[in-house]
Amino acid sequence: MAPAPSALITGITGQDGLYLAELLVAKGYDVHGLIRGQNNPKLGLVRELLPTVTLHNGDLTDMSSLIRALRESDPDEVYNLGAVSFVAYSWEQAALTTDVTAKGVLNMLESLRLHCRDDLGRVRFYQASSSEMFGKVQDVPQHERTLLWPRSPYGVAKVFGHHMTINYRESYGMHASSGILFNHESPRRGPEFVTRKVSQAVARIHLGLQDELVMGNLDAERDWGFAGDYVEAMWLMLQQPVADDYVIGTGETHSVREFVETAFAHVGIDDWERFVRFDERFVRPAEVDQLIGDAAKARDVLGWKPRVSFTELVSLMVQADIEAFRAGWK
Ligand code: NAP
Ligand code: F7E
């Protein structure tokens, strides 16, 4: 019997890392995760959800720790999901964002090149690229050949990682793929991101625990999908005989206002404006006004398509937060 395939995931404590690790465990992989910090607060959660996963201490800014994690795990596939991923924060800590989200990708690719030595196609690599790279969009909808025009330090860092991934593929023949993923959400989304901020607030307002929701730009439009669907696309990319880049999105766009309205509708509140207050603090130095992805290539080559609709996504997030608050977990 062939040995189980193995995978190393950076960013395993994040939203996507958890879903991807669950998917790979279910597929029979021997899963390894990189975990950073001397006392990571997510360690308990990872151990509880993923008891069979092997964790390795390491940080994307520390190349020797990456080489060690590769040596210890000896993976067939590497998924590089680790990043400083909150766009608003990337203006406050632009240099840190560059070190982790940009140079961290180079550190991982270079570590992999050293690890694989004379058989560079041996390990398949996935880079978590982002629709934020499209920024001031030059095509509607955005596809794999749309000109990149990032509008945040995060977006700039992701462009570096994206092109470095393509460069390692072209220079060394590495099986390195880049998924240009549009926004994807879930009950595991960090509370700093707009969808979870709204789902938690609406749940709390519904339960009488909070009476207002303070927001920034309600006019921004995003192509929002469900994270569980998107990690399948990551895996599918690494199963292809030839590495390539793919846009992953739903092909629909909705404003932040629509998200808020749909979330309140889930708890039977139509006059939602009375709960929502604007605060300049949440407005960004430069905004990405509208994103909408054309995932035709992923559909045709990978056979991938999203399963969860916008309304289902909003409802499942609000409902999960209602249940979590009711259970007194938070
Ligand atoms: P997330 O929940 O913010 O998770 C980020 C992960 O990166 C966490 O596990 C975090 O670990 C880890 N990390 C941060 N700094 C690190 C460092 N110096 N070294 C190693 N790991 C580090 O993000 P996500 O939503 O799961 O997204 C996964 C990836 O996809 C990210 O690269 C993100 O930029 C990208 N992406 C996300 C979306 C989206 O809509 N979710 C769309 C496109 C692309 P700690 O727990 O230790 O902080
Ligand atoms: O903002 C607006 C905000 O922080 C969405 C990351 O996963 O997706 C994510 O980046 C929109 C923006 O996500 C608030 O101005 C209004 O227009 O949820 P967000 P993001 O910036 O789109 C991409 C694809 C990634 O790759 C990133 O890693 O919502 N907005 N009011 C607000 N946003 C937040 N966070 N908070 C507000 O109060």
Could you tell me if residue 61 is left (phi over 0), alpha (psi between -120 and 50 degrees) or otherwise beta?
alpha
Cβ 302 vs Cβ 238: under 8 Å: no
- Cut 0.85: pTM above it: yes
At 329 the pLDDT is 59
Q: Given the CA of residue 11, which atom of ligand 1 is nearest to it? A: 9
State percent of the chain over pLDDT 70: 99
Report the half-sphere exposure of 303 (CA within 13 A, side-chain side): 4
The rounded distance, in Å, linking the Cα atoms of 52 and 47 is: 8
Q: In the predicted model, is pLDDT for residue 330 greater than 60?
A: no
Nearest ligand to residue 42 Cα: 1
- Rg of the chain (C-alpha set): 20
Tens of pLDDT, residues 275-310: 999 999 999 999 999 999 999 999 999 999 999 999
Tens of pLDDT, residues 150-198: 999 999 999 999 999 999 999 999 999 999 999 999 999 999 999 999 9
Backbone phi and psi for residue 205, each to the nearest 5 degrees, phi listed first = -65, -45
Catalytic residues: 130, 132, 154
Tens of pLDDT, residues 133-152: 999 999 999 999 999 999 99
Helical pair 310-326 and 194-206, crossing angle rounded to 10 deg: 50
- Rounded mean pLDDT, 10-32: 98
- Rounded mean pLDDT, 33-42: 96
At 118 the pLDDT is 82
Q: Rounded to whole angstroms, what are the CA distances from 231 to 17, 89, 309, 313, 317?
A: 9, 24, 16, 16, 18
The structural domains of the chain, ordered by start, are 6-184+224-248 (3.40.50.720), 190-222+253-290+310-329 (3.90.25.10)
State percent of the chain over pLDDT 90: 96
CB atoms within 10 A of CB 190: 12
Q: Is the CB of 193 under 6 A from ligand 2?
A: yes
Q: Is the CB of 151 under 6 A from ligand 2?
A: no
Lowest-pLDDT range, 62-76, 112-126, 147-161? 112-126
The rounded distance, in Å, linking the Cα atoms of 107 and 275 is: 46
**Closest CA to ligand 1's atom 2:** 14
The SS3 call for residue 302 is helix
The SS3 call for residue 139 is coil
Cβ 32 vs Cβ 8: under 8 Å: yes
Q: Given the CA of residue 85, which atom of ligand 2 is nearest to it? A: 28
Ligand 1 pocket check: which of 81, 184, 226 to mutate, most ligand atoms within 8 Å of Cβ? Answer: 81
